Amino acid sequence: MATRLPGRATAEGTRRYAARLGARTAPGHFRELAGGLALSSIGLGTYLGPEDGATDVLYQDAVTRALELGLNVVDTAVNYRHQRSERAIRTALAGAAARGLVARDEVVVATKGGFIPFDGAVPRDARGWFTATYLEPGIVAPGDVAAGIHCMAPRYLADQIERSRANLGLETLDVYYVHNPETQLGEVARPEFLARIRAAFEALEQAAGDGRIGVYGAATWNGCRQDASAPEHLSLAELVAVAREVAGAEHHFRVIQLPYNLAMPEAFTRATQRVGDEVVSTLEAARRLGVYVMASASVYQGQLSRGLPPLVGEVLPGLATDAQRALQFVRSTPGVGTALVGMKAVAHVEENAAVAARPPVAWSEFQRFFSAADA
């Protein structure tokens, strides 16, 4: 087995990184996660791209360059590019550590488990591969799988954590998400869903106690953006309550990830979450519940990198490209911790990292987006 980098991201290490990269970044670039970790307001995502060696090398170079420029958050999932994205990150992190570019305790690595991943490529006999890999060893029982692709049973998550630790070459996964848990709601009733969530959280609390993960959360797509009447709706307060029931006030459910961008602003503008007697936005609910927010799809897979209206440039001045403006919109939104962007080209890393040299836009200016929408 390949050597794993020992340790994990720490408050001391991430703050050391922030101090060292301070000359490249403006105030407000680093934000605080539970436990005092300092996370960059821009993070590198690794979702897109073919499953080939050339893309592996692109991601390796992109991760390395991001670490050089003040981005210490790297996001992935075991199913991204059939586990190849995690393995590309392993190569980059091992190389960066060997060169002395960063220490292990300075970097926050997040990954996800839930969707059943192939290994490197699609097998010729997918059903036979699934049976041999997951059913016969008892990792998955037939009733555990929803929609033919999703599982969050405790023994399955334990297996996926070990796969990700090996793929990433890390002793500890700093952030571990249940990946799109709302997928289960298409097939199971909500009481059964909550029972499955509770079992998953028990397993993740055990993994946190054992040092296999740091904190955990849920990475969602539709779940937190939809009204409570929607079949896929996820209640953030309900998820936090389950974590508290499992582990008390010191639970490790501390992060959510959901899409947020100029074209999908619901996390900020739409009241979908009940907290106590109020219905508030997801970002406000997260603030009240002490949950850090990672925004995915910050430039909407490139769709927001061109053709933005003039108002965007007026409210977000001093930037050269629409991609930078779209990213600045996300990281300037109250309640967003880290804006994630898929980056597999060094040129894109450099373009996006340049945004960190500017402070987030003040609310007095930022709110013009929404006053214009109401006009």
pLDDT tens for each residue of 231-283: 999 999 999 999 999 999 999 999 999 999 999 999 999 999 999 999 999 99
Q: What is the Cβ-side half-sphere exposure of residue 256, based on CA atoms within 13 angstroms?
A: 29
Residue 342 has pLDDT above 80, yes or no: yes
The predicted pLDDT at position 23 comes to 84
Name 177's Cβ contacts closer than 8 Å, sequence gap at least 6. 77, 110, 111, 112, 113, 114, 216, 217, 218, 219, 255, 257
HSE-CB of 334 using CA atoms within 13 angstroms: 12
What pLDDT score does 302 carry? 87
pLDDT of residue 372: 58
Check residue 142 and give its pLDDT.
Answer: 84
pLDDT in tens, 104-120: 999 999 999 999 999 99
Q: Find the mean pLDDT for residues 324-328.
A: 97
**Mean pLDDT, the chain, integer:** 95
The pLDDT confidence band at residue 1, using thresholds 50, 70 and 90, is very low
Question: Cα dist. 36→58, 103, 360 in Å?
Answer: 32, 17, 21
What percent of the chain clears pLDDT 90, i.e. is strictly above it?
A: 95
How does residue 371 score in pLDDT terms, banded at 50, 70 and 90? confident
**Residue found by looking up tokens 């996660």 in the block:** 33
Higher pLDDT, 27 or 370: 27
Q: Is pTM, for the whole model, over 0.95?
A: yes
What is the predicted pLDDT for the residue at 301?
A: 87
The 10s digit of each residue's pLDDT in 187-217 is 999 999 999 999 999 999 999 999 999 999 9
- In this predicted structure, the answer to whether residue 43 has a pLDDT above a threshold of 50 is yes
| Residue 124 pLDDT class (50, 70, 90 cuts) | very high
CATH class of 30-374: alpha beta
CB 115 within 8 A of CB 152: no
